[in-house]
Every structure is written in structure tokens, then in C-alpha cells.
Structure 1
Amino acid sequence: MEAKEAKETREQIMEEDLGLVERARQGDTEAFGVLIERHRDKARGIAERMTGDPHMADDIVQDALIRAFMHVGSLVDASRFLPWFHRIVRNQANMRLRRGGPYRKEKPLSAWDKTHAERVDWENLDSILGHLTRSASEAARTEHDPAEHLLRKELYETIRAVLHCLTRKERSIFVAYFFRQLSPDEIAAMHRMPVGSIYTYLHRSRRKLREEHVRISLGLLPEKEGMAMKRRRILDLPPWPAHATTAVSLIDRIGHLLAALGDPWDTAELMGLSGFAFRMKISNKTTFADGIYVYDWRMTIHSVLQTLGYQSSILCGQLAESPVPLLAAAERFPVVLPIEEALLPFIRKYIELGRPVLYFDTFATKPYVHEWALIYGYDDEAREVILTDLMKPEGKRISYDDLAENPLRFLVGIDGEAKAFVPARPSTANGTEAAAAERVERTERAIREAVRYSREGCEYRPMTGYLTYTSGLAAYDRWIGHLQSGHANRYGMGQLAFVYADTRRYAADYLRRVPLEGEAMRLALLASEAYEQAAASLAALSKDVPFIRSTELLTDELRAVCISRLTQAKEFETAAVGYLEKAICELEKEK
């Protein structure tokens, strides 16, 4: 009985740990703190056994905690948290011992066992490292104090493992330059290559070696069998017709993703239920288009998908020491490393299940700077992923290296069994009364949120003080103010007008179809007409300032026209919000 209770307790703790790890991966510091409090003692025990010094063990665990917190976002499998963390503790302990732990005793290489010396090819790095590894292993078995020899053995084995990440030619050039001390000119003559190519190879090799060393130190190196496996799979995406597209690429890609799962949604309904049909956000600095993207990505995307009947997993992060685009949206993401193993298992998992992965692409084709995309295939042989691009109907490819080095990392996978992929929208025509009531309730929530956002603005506030935004109806005033002061950015203006003209068109389309009745429906239709007029004014603005790459300044005459368009659009949208407020009052009366 006691054994059974102990087993149930262990299982409960493991389940709680998984939840804490998932929260920690998404930047929840409180969850990480709880997790560490549970397992700190065991980690300290590992460090103390390795060093024999309790004070050094405390320092090692502290260092390991910092590394684990910085890189927990790169951990793909939450169930592997403890082995991963213990590996970091061991690596930190080994580093301390190499620097000068209680067992440090230096010996010259000449004092090592020379039984294998006659078999060493001193021109071959593998042969040299193999000899040193064997010598260290032999010394560890025969000496009274083997710790230093074992550490050296591990070091040489690590060097050998790291060097195997290079191609044959990269390795040859790297060894010639760093170990044989040949000059780039000599290496170029030896390989019959331009000197510039040698520098390119050396730069590439340094980067690959650095990344490979980080993989090993964090325990992210794939199993040997996995390294040899080259896989490829490309999903067949269904056609995405022009009438279904929206300039809000997040909702556009979610719509295409759900269509690929056999659950096609009407884009107007997606725009209305998600709230993006009614949003507007303008930077307080100038008419940059970044406000379109600044909101709580994790909460918003999870909430939108949940509203549509889906659960999701999110993998996100920002690279250290890299300029991160859209910092106002990404600043709460955990700091991660440019390691492809931190992303590819996530992508392979969902592609193998037949589900594309929602991805934020910072390599979007011009005139876009960055946009949402779907990854729908991968190719290990070519080392590329296949993804959508707004300007390339045929799709495009980006390398695993570019994928890993994207400074803003955000991927979303749809969870659940395939049987769960059924339309989440209840139909009033053939559904139950409860289903119809649920649809009305969902519509009412969407309308209430549209009014709240218009009147109060976006709740999300960047932590970075110099990045501030105005949202809701007040965003029109901020936009007009930029034009009046002459501080408008023409390129950003083009994208803002293009996107918000499209959102208001979908707001009108959504409200025409809502499942309301009587006076509430009449008011919703009046709001729809007002949004249609606002969309027309913004579309005219988009025609005046098209979304194209241009450094041309806005003339005084053009700025005056733009101000007039925006003033008119605001008047119509203010009227639309007023009609929606009255519709809510009618719904409350009915209740």
C-alpha cells in the first residue's frame, strides 16, 4: 500500500514538474523558482560529490541556475528538464575543476604513458587526440589521483565531437590554420582556392564550432543514430483563394492553417472573433508600422485558438546580443541560443503529424519587413524548411542556420488528436439550441471587446519605456498628429493604411453576419455600414500613400489630404462604436 502511495506521489510530482517547466519555458520566473526549490538539493549533491568541496558546490549550483534560467526556452522536451539541468551542473563542476579545483595537479605531456606513441600520426588531428585520450584514460586507471586525467579525457573527447560538425573541407582548412599554423595564402595554394574563400571557410567553421560546443555543454547534442538520419517531408497545403486573404497576416495564416487541418473558417468570422477587425495601434514616435504587431503574442494567439476550439504549444525566445525586431512585443520572451536542435524537433513533430507550424518570419520578401508564415515542410538533406511567403505564392525555403539565427523566435503548433479537428463553429441551421446560444454568446463577447478596445485601448504595455503606443479610437488622433507635425514615415504610413483599411472592411463583413435578432441586429447592421464607410476612407488613404518601398517625402498637400481621410474615417468609426454600444444595451434588455 505504501509503495503504491509513493508511486502515486512521484507521478503527481512529475506531472506538476511538467507544468512548471512549460510555464518556465514561456518566461514565468515564479514557475522556474518553484521548480528549482524542488531540485536544488539534488543538484548540490551532484556538485559536492564531484568537487568534494561544499562551498564550491554552492557556487556551481548558482552558476548552473543562471545558465538554466537563461536557456530554458531552448529545451524542447519538458520531460527532460531534470537530466538537462543535472548535465549543466556537471559541466559547471567540470569547468571549475579545470580552472583549479581541489584535485588540480598539473603534469607535463611528456610524463604521460607512451605505449601508444609509435602509432600516432602527428599530422592527423584525430590520431593526436585519440592518443591523448587513451593516455589520459590509462593514467586515470593507474594513478592515485585520477580526477585531472579524467577531466582531460573528457576535454579531448569533446574536441573530437565538436570537430565532427565540420565538413571534410572545412575541417581540413581549420586544422591547417589553427593546428598546423599555415597562413591563409599557403592554405589557398594547397587547396587551389582564392584566399578570400579561405577566410569565408574559417569564419563559417568558427561559427559552427561555437554552436556545436554550446550544444554539447547544454546536453542538446543529438544521439549518434539521430545524427545520421536525414528526413524530409513536405505537406500539401490546400489552395488559399484571394477572397480569403487578409492583410493581418497572423489571422490569414491561422485561417490557412485550420484549412490545412480540414476545418476551413470564414475569414470575416476569424477577424471578428479574434478582435483584429476592430484593432488599431499607432506608435507615439512616428507612423512606423510596428504598432500592427505589438500585443501579447502568447496570450493572444493562445486565446484566439482556444476560442476556435484548439489547444496550442508555443516555442518562443529572443537571441542574446542580437538586435531583436519588434522588441516591444518580444521583450518578455526568454533569452535563447542560436541552436537548430532547439527548433527542429518542434517543427518535425508537427509536420510529421500533418500539421503546419505557425512561424514569425523575419526574412519576409519586400515590401514586407517581417510577417507571419506557415512552415509546412523540412528537408534535412538540404538543411532547409519550406514555408509560405506573402509575396511568393509558390512558397520559399530558408536554411536551418537562418532559422536558428532568427533573433525573434516564435513558433506555434496545434495540439490534440486528429479526431479533435472538427469545425468548432456550431451551425444555427442544423445544430442544437445550446450550440446556437453559444454562438450568440461568442458574438456578444466579440462585440463587447470591440467596444472596450475602441474606448480604452490595448491593455498590453511594453516594459521598454521609450516604446509607447496609442490604440483604439485615440490612435486616429495620434496618427493625425504625426501628419500635422510633419513627422510621418511614408513607408510605415503605406502599411498602416493598407492593413487598417482591410480590417475595417472585415469588421463590416463580420457584423453583417452576426446571429442577432430584432433591434440588436438592426444596430449591428448600422455599425457595419459605418465601418464600411471608414474602410472606404482608409482605402482612399492607402491609394494616396501606397504600401511600397519609397523614401519620397509627403508633400504638404498630400499630408492635408491624408489628415482629411483619417478625420473622416474616425467619424465613421466613432459612429460604428456608438451603434455597437446600443446593441449591447439591447442584448442586456433581452436577458
Structure 2
Amino acid sequence: MAGKKEDEQQKQLEFEQDEVLTVLARSGDASAFNELVRRHRLKAFTWASRISKDPHLSEDIVQEALIRAFLNLNSLAHNHRFLGWFKSIVRNQALMKMRRGGLYRRELPATALQTASMHQASVQVDDINSIMDYLIARSSQAENDGTSKDPQVLLERREWYGIIRAFLRVLTPREKSIFESFFFQECSPQEIAQLFQISVGNVYKIISRSRQKVQEERLSFLIRAQIRQRREDGLLKQNVLDPVSLKESGGSLLTGTEQLYRFVKARHPQLSLSYVDGMLLGAFLLNIEKSSVDMSSTNMIDRNYLITNGMLNLGMRVRYVEAFDFEPPDPNLTTEGIALAQGSVDLGMPAMVWELIHSEFGLIYGYDDMKQQFYGLDTQSDEMVPYEQLGRLQTRSLFVLGFVGDHPISPSDSLWRWCQMISRHARGQDQTFSGFVNGLAAYDTWMDVIRQRAIEPLGHAYTINVLRQSRKHAMICLAELVSEWGEVKSESEINQTIFNLLNKAEEQYAIVHDRYVELALLFPVPSGGEPNEPANAARAIELIKHIKYAEQLGIEWIEQIAERLEEHASRAHVPAIVENPPRAYIM
């Protein structure tokens, strides 16, 4: 009874606004604070990462910031400003951590340095935020230690003011005056409002708009610098791949799966969509939310883990650049993504990109440095896309996947590694997002949600349709592996064993697929049927039980394949499964 009551309270909290949650949290309600954390933890990690440049250090920063936020909630003046207040705590914690000896890499904390020449190495001269943060920190320090009149400090300020003013030509005279008053003359917003006879609210708006303009100018500067460097390095100014094969549809319901297939197909044109989806593990995934079943179940996957490891199964090395937030990504990261896409094209491969043209995955198949544009396509269109558009569409999120080289792997090593990955996922050993369950245990969660009548009809029907297609890919992938190993089964006893086990696994996944077809008929798209109607719910649970049983048997045959391959020969030379690849999101 207590557990059910807690679940109901959690559901209620999810619908409350930050302001209400903040009021509750300040009164001592830990669950309200936990909900605020759940909502904004990913943003906090992104903010910390921008300063620390290290995922492990960023996680420490976020944890310490959360403790400080909880202990100091009563210092928050306005309940509706929790997010901005929390962001300042994360930022201050990150800067303090860096000053105390964080992982400096390219950018050292300005307060740790003593001479102007060393400052040159610590502040990124093409980074408006770096310069601003330095100036503000330096001014505060000067006020505290009484050196604000020091000629050395004044000289350093003039140097950085000269650098930052180079970016200000994009501002109107009025914007420039207000911007300079705030950052250079250190006037408060209230002083600026009085000086220019405008409201304090307008001052904040102008400063925010001006900062955005300057950031865009900074991005243009970095892109021009990158193109200039490419020219000096003797790299191509323009390169365009043949887009014909890239436009051939594989037929996946998910644009991520579709574009991954087209990406791989550019290197291995003989592979089918089912085979690629299988080797990247998409065909074997199951991820269900504890409180509901809607469209989120098919999207909340650890894409970085799957791509990093799945591509190695296919003998390919890839790299990705990403940032997830509702603010434009850092210009340095954007230019890194541009360079990755160009490098992939130069190796004869497209680059896969999120929100290239529309809010879906697309492919870059060429570039033109003179025009500063990519040749891009997605499932809807084929267009020229400006370099600076990357990561600046609807979600302001950046994801660029590029090919960096081949990594040859034998069929037996690839199969062994793949079987290990399938087993890990099925047994719940893969990471997943908070509030979700993956692997075989997700079937039990699914049935529990049905019993609770917490099904969203359209999202539920969509999820079933995606899973029906994925298990069809699993069945076909196994059938293609049966065919491959059938050609060599007479060569050795181990090959015959693997062939037989693959056959048995295929038989079980054929049953799984058939049961999903029945589920899809029971809950058709787009109506969704009546999943919360008792008779339909009972039938759905019965079908899911059959699916789980058959899939569990299929997994057991796949696990036996891994065991036999490992018994036959050492796999110590095979690339280990990368359990924690770099991520811009919290698992």
C-alpha cells in the first residue's frame, strides 16, 4: 500500500511546475527536490561539462552542486527562478573545482596563473565566454585583494577588451554600448537601465540577445579559421559523394535506424537493413518505462553504447561529436563536428547528423568550403546546409557521427562479441535511463503497466509496431547468419555446432515475431485499440508472456554460441565491449 501511494505521489509531482516543486522543496519535501533534480540533471551535466571538459569530473561537480542547492534552498529569492539559480551553483562549483586542480586540458583557470604570457595560454582568445568569465573573475579578485588599480591588471584587461571588441561589430550601436557597459565597465543592470532610460528587464534582454549575436560571430570566426587551416594543410576544398545509393530506403520505422543503415551500407553495400540493425543490437532491444508505455520507450536507448560497440562488430571505427541542450552548442564543438563530417566524406563515407534539415537524423554526403555548405539529405529532402546550421535547429542538439577507419574482425570474433552484447542486454546488464527497465525483465514491467491500466493507446501501438519490426529484423539477421555459417559448416565441428545453434535461435525469434504481429493486430496504428479494456489487457498479457518465453529460449541458444566459440579459441584479442563510451547525457 505504501509503495502504491509513493508511486501516485511521484506521478503527481511530474505534472507540477518548477515553482510549485521549489516551494515544496523549501518546506523540506525531499521528493519535490528529487523531481527537480530529475528534470534538470541532464542540463546540469551539460553546464558542468562545458567548463570541466571531462565527464567524470562533471559528474562530481553536479553531485556537489546538488548538495549545495539542497542545503541552500532558502537563499533562493524567487521560486520561479530555480533553474537559473541552480545553473549559477553548478557553474560556480565547476569553476571552483577547476581552480583547485581539475583536468585543465586546453583551458586553465585564470586565477591559477600569475603572468600575462601565461594568461595567453589559459584563456581561449576565440571564445567569448572564456574571455568574459576571465574578466569577471579577474575583476572580482582585484576588488577582493585591492589590486584593482594595479598597472599589470589594467594592461591585461586592455588586451582582452581588444580581443572581445573584434567580435562586437555584429551589434547595433545601442546593443554595443549596453554590452560594453555591462562587461567592460562592470555596470550593474540597474545602472545601465538608468543610464539608457530603459527597464531592467530590457537590459537583460538586450544583453542576452547581444551575447547570442556575439556567439554566432564567434562561430563564423571559428569556421573561417578552420577552413583556412584546411587550406594550409592541403586538404580538399570540396568533396561530394554519389548520393544515389544513400537515398535508397531500407524501410525502417525509425529514422535513426534508417540512417545508420545507409551509413553502414556506404561501406558494406551487400548488407541488409535487418543484418545491420541486428549487429548494432537495435533488433534485440527492449526498454519499457515503469509508469507508462508510450512513444518514449523506443527512444530512451543508450545510443552511444550501441553505436560504439555495434560498429566494431561490423569492422568499422567511428567517432561522434555531440551536445544535448536547448541552447546552441559551444562553437568549438560545432567546428569539431564540421571537421569530423568533412573527414568522413574524405574517407569516402557520409556522416550521420541529428536535425540536419528536419527534426530527424540525416546524412552529410559532401561539403564545399568556398560556400561553407554541406550537401545533406534526410528522409524528406536533399538540400545544401550551411556549416553553422549544425546543432541549431529545434532542439539545439548536436550529434555528428563520422567514419574514421576500418577495424578488421573475423566472422567468429564478430559473432562472439555480438552474442556477448545480446546476452548483456537481455540480462539487464546494460545501463538504461532512470525510470526504465531493459532486457527480458522489461516484459514483466510491461505487463505490470498493463495491469495498472497506465497505457497511452497511440504510443503503445507505435511501440508494438516498432518492436514487431525490430524482432522481424532479429529473425532475418539470424537467418542470414545461418546462411553464412551453412556455407562453412562442413569445414569443422565447431562450425557445424554454431550453425545448429543459430538455427535454433532463429526458430525462437520467428515465434517472437509472430506473437508481435498478433499484438499489432490487437492494438493497430493509428487508433491504438483499447489497451485498457479488461479483455484486451488480458489477451495482451498472455501474448507478452509467450513472447518473453520464446525470446528467453532464443537468448539461451545465443549464449551457448558465445560459450562454444570461447571454448574453441581464445578471444583475448577481440576488442572489449566498451561499457561507458563518452556521453553528453546521463544514464
Residue 162 of structure 1, CA deviation: 1.8
CA distance in 1, matches of 2:553, 2:541: 19
Aligned residue in 1 for 2:363: 374
Residues 449/97 of structure 1: CA separation in 2 closer, same or farther (3 Å cut): closer
Aligned residue in 2 for 1:492: 459
Task: Kindly indicate whether the alpha-carbon contact (under 8 Å) linking 1:282 and 1:289 is maintained by their aligned counterparts in 2.
Answer: no
After superposition, the C-alpha distances for 1:293-315 in whole angstroms (9 at most, x for unaligned) are 44544443222222222222232
CA distance in 2, matches of 1:163, 1:310: 44
Q: Does 1:344 align with 2:333?
A: no
Structure 1: state its 5+ residue gaps.
1-20, 34-58, 73-81, 107-144, 183-198, 325-334, 366-370, 426-437
Aligned residue in 2 for 1:147: 152
Residue 472 of structure 1, CA deviation: 2.1
Letter in 2 for 1:153: R
CA distance in 2, matches of 1:224, 1:303: 30
- Alignment partner of 2:275 out of 263, 269, 280: 269
Residues 350/295 of structure 1: CA separation in 2 closer, same or farther (3 Å cut): same
Segment of structure 1 superposing worse, 252-261 or 148-157:
148-157
Q: Does 1:521 align with 2:527?
A: no
Task: Kindly indicate whether the alpha-carbon contact (under 8 Å) linking 1:286 and 1:488 is maintained by their aligned counterparts in 2.
Answer: yes
Aligned residues: 433
Q: Does 1:508 align with 2:497?
A: no
After superposition, the C-alpha distances for 1:231-289 in whole angstroms (9 at most, x for unaligned) are 77654334257673434654543331233346542333323333332221212221134
CA distance in 2, matches of 1:573, 1:285: 23
Aligned residue in 2 for 1:472: 439
Aligned residue in 1 for 2:162: 157
Secondary structure of 2:55's partner? coil
Q: Does 1:535 align with 2:539?
A: no
Residues 172/93 of structure 1: CA separation in 2 closer, same or farther (3 Å cut): closer
After superposition, the C-alpha distances for 1:192-212 in whole angstroms (9 at most, x for unaligned) are xxxxxxx99997544212565
- Alignment partner of 1:209 out of 207, 214, 224: 214
- Alignment partner of 2:428 out of 444, 448, 457: 457
Q: Which has the larger radius of gyration?
A: 1
Task: Kindly indicate whether the alpha-carbon contact (under 8 Å) linking 2:287 and 2:437 is maintained by their aligned counterparts in 1.
Answer: yes
CA distance in 2, matches of 1:71, 1:544: 58
Task: Kindly indicate whether the alpha-carbon contact (under 8 Å) linking 2:391 and 2:397 is maintained by their aligned counterparts in 1.
Answer: no
Task: Kindly indicate whether the alpha-carbon contact (under 8 Å) linking 1:64 and 1:85 is maintained by their aligned counterparts in 2.
Answer: no
Task: Kindly indicate whether the alpha-carbon contact (under 8 Å) linking 2:245 and 2:266 is maintained by their aligned counterparts in 1.
Answer: no
Residues 395/285 of structure 1: CA separation in 2 closer, same or farther (3 Å cut): farther
Residue 525 of structure 1, CA deviation: 2.4
Residues 471/228 of structure 1: CA separation in 2 closer, same or farther (3 Å cut): closer
Secondary structure of 2:342's partner? helix
Task: Kindly indicate whether the alpha-carbon contact (under 8 Å) linking 1:530 and 1:575 is maintained by their aligned counterparts in 2.
Answer: yes
Secondary structure of 1:459's partner? coil
Alignment of 1:389-468 (within 5 A): 389-390=378-379, 392=380, 394=382, 400-401=388-389, 403-404=391-392, 406-416=395-405, 438-454=410-426, 456-462=427-433, 467-468=434-435
Residue 447 of structure 1, CA deviation: 3.7
Task: Kindly indicate whether the alpha-carbon contact (under 8 Å) linking 1:71 and 1:337 is maintained by their aligned counterparts in 2.
Answer: no
Task: Kindly indicate whether the alpha-carbon contact (under 8 Å) linking 1:521 and 1:583 is maintained by their aligned counterparts in 2.
Answer: no
Secondary structure of 1:513's partner? helix
Q: Does 1:285 align with 2:273?
A: no
Task: Kindly indicate whether the alpha-carbon contact (under 8 Å) linking 2:288 and 2:442 is maintained by their aligned counterparts in 1.
Answer: yes
> Which TM-score applies when normalising by structure 1?
0.58
Aligned residue in 1 for 2:55: 27
Q: Does 1:87 align with 2:87?
A: no
CA distance in 2, matches of 1:558, 1:278: 26
Residues 379/563 of structure 1: CA separation in 2 closer, same or farther (3 Å cut): farther
Letter in 1 for 2:510: E
Residues 200/270 of structure 1: CA separation in 2 closer, same or farther (3 Å cut): same
After superposition, the C-alpha distances for 1:35-71 in whole angstroms (9 at most, x for unaligned) are xxxxxxxxxxxxxxxxxxxxxxxx9994496695898
CA distance in 2, matches of 1:85, 1:553: 64
Secondary structure of 2:159's partner? helix
Task: Kindly indicate whether the alpha-carbon contact (under 8 Å) linking 2:356 and 2:362 is maintained by their aligned counterparts in 1.
Answer: no
Residue 381 of structure 1, CA deviation: 8.1
CA distance in 2, matches of 1:146, 1:584: 70
Residue 505 of structure 1, CA deviation: 0.9
Aligned residue in 1 for 2:243: 237
Residue 408 of structure 1, CA deviation: 4.2
After superposition, the C-alpha distances for 1:531-576 in whole angstroms (9 at most, x for unaligned) are 123213223433544555x899745155445434433433432343
Percent identical among aligned pairs is 17
Residue 585 of structure 1, CA deviation: 7.3
Aligned residue in 2 for 1:313: 319
CA distance in 2, matches of 1:531, 1:240: 30
After superposition, the C-alpha distances for 1:328-373 in whole angstroms (9 at most, x for unaligned) are xxxxxxx9679643533333343444432223449855xxxxx543
Q: Does 1:301 align with 2:307?
A: yes
Task: Kindly indicate whether the alpha-carbon contact (under 8 Å) linking 1:94 and 1:151 is maintained by their aligned counterparts in 2.
Answer: no
Residue 487 of structure 1, CA deviation: 0.7
CA distance in 1, matches of 2:563, 2:347: 46
Task: Kindly indicate whether the alpha-carbon contact (under 8 Å) linking 1:505 and 1:532 is maintained by their aligned counterparts in 2.
Answer: yes
Alignment of 1:40-79 (within 5 A): 62-63=98-99
Cα RMSD (Å): 5.2
Structure 2: state its 5+ residue gaps.
1-48, 62-94, 109-117, 182-191, 194-203, 490-495, 570-587
Residues 289/382 of structure 1: CA separation in 2 closer, same or farther (3 Å cut): farther
